Amino acid sequence: MSSFWSIWITVLTIVVIVGCFVLLRIVSKNNTGVEEGKSMGHSFDGIEELNNPLPKWWSYLFYVTIVFGVIYLALYPGLGNFKGFLGWSSANQSIGTENGIAADSKAAVELATKEGRWVQYDQEVKRADEKFGPIFKAYAETPLDELVKNEEALKVGGRLFLHNCSQCHGSDARGSKGFPNLTDGDWLYGGELATIKTSIMNGRHGMMPPKGGLPIEDSEIKGLAEYVTKLAGRDHDEALAAQGQGSFMKGCFACHGMDATGNKMMGAPNLTNNIWLYGGSRGSIEQSIKNGRSGVMPAWKDVLGEEKVHVITAYVYSLSNK
């Protein structure tokens, strides 16, 4: 964190704490000029306001929370770059090989604890790797076409999916606008096991430029959207769709194909199956044509590693191949 933001956070935090203390002191005193217990001269719906002080227990409890906050911020990180007098850290950032002691050894943990340093996060990760590492290694050594038949592996893949993928694709993997449904068997880049793994490992960047980058006028967009509607097998205006077909032949087929069934090499969607990533209403289709679309799926190889991606791949494949 930069010095500016460290100072900003520190000052702001201290001001808030001091402000709470001052405010509490002010409201604890009778500054109204009205004797305690007497009427303030306000009434509504038969309820009269009296000049009653704050309950003592409430005031004392608030003082306790202020004192607790000050002590906590003195001992633990919370004031910008100040690490606290205990030197606690959720990660093993300050421990290396010291005095010949390896950072991941039990002795290193004891040394860190003795010196007031903690390595909670790294040690939890280490224990998890020791426990689950052999399991993931065994799964990674199993070919994907066999792994999809392993119910225990699919359960593990499902849990990994919920923790890492459901934020975009949903807990049921049915996606939402702009995020693909993984259960319908429709794949922009292909639904083969190897292809799915490549998509998860390396990510994807799909992009349709406005008007497909073609010399299509705004006046043609409505007809083109009507032609796309016709391709999907929906009710349409035949005359308007015929006009749109001419616009389509200006070059839309270069990505979507002459038969409009898409191109998995480019991630160009099939326009004939009535499955829509950004919505299938005429308004949504017109918006897609006019403004284009851009979607990014991040790469997970550096976040999860290939072993876990291997298991998630089997799970994702199973969603549409049960």
The binding site for heme c comprises 165, 168-169, 208, 252, 255-256, 297
Beta bridge partners of 297: 204
Number of separate helices (H) and strands (E) present in the chain:
13, 4
Number of CB atoms found within 10 A of residue 182's CB: 23
- Coil, strand or helix at 177: coil
For the chain, the distance separating the N- and C-terminal CA atoms, rounded to the nearest angstrom, is 49
Residue 95, Cα to own-chain centre: how many angstroms?
Answer: 30
Instruction: State how far the Cα of 289 lies from the Cα of 160, in Å rounded to an integer.
Output: 36
Instruction: State how far the Cα of 275 lies from the Cα of 272, in Å rounded to an integer.
Output: 8
C-alpha distances in Å from residue 167, one per residue of 158, 252, 275, 297, 321: 13, 32, 21, 12, 22
C-alpha distances in Å from residue 137, one per residue of 134, 147, 153, 305: 5, 12, 12, 11
- Binding site: what residues are annotated? 165, 168-169, 208, 252, 255-256, 297
- Coil, strand or helix at 293: strand
Tokens of 83: 């690490």
Instruction: State how far the Cα of 120 lies from the Cα of 106, in Å rounded to an integer.
Output: 12
Instruction: State how far the Cα of 4 lies from the Cα of 229, in Å rounded to an integer.
Output: 55
Asked if 181 contacts 173 with a C-beta cutoff of 8 angstroms, the reply is yes
Amino acid occupying residue 248: F
Nearest alpha carbon to residue 212 among 290, 295, 277: 290
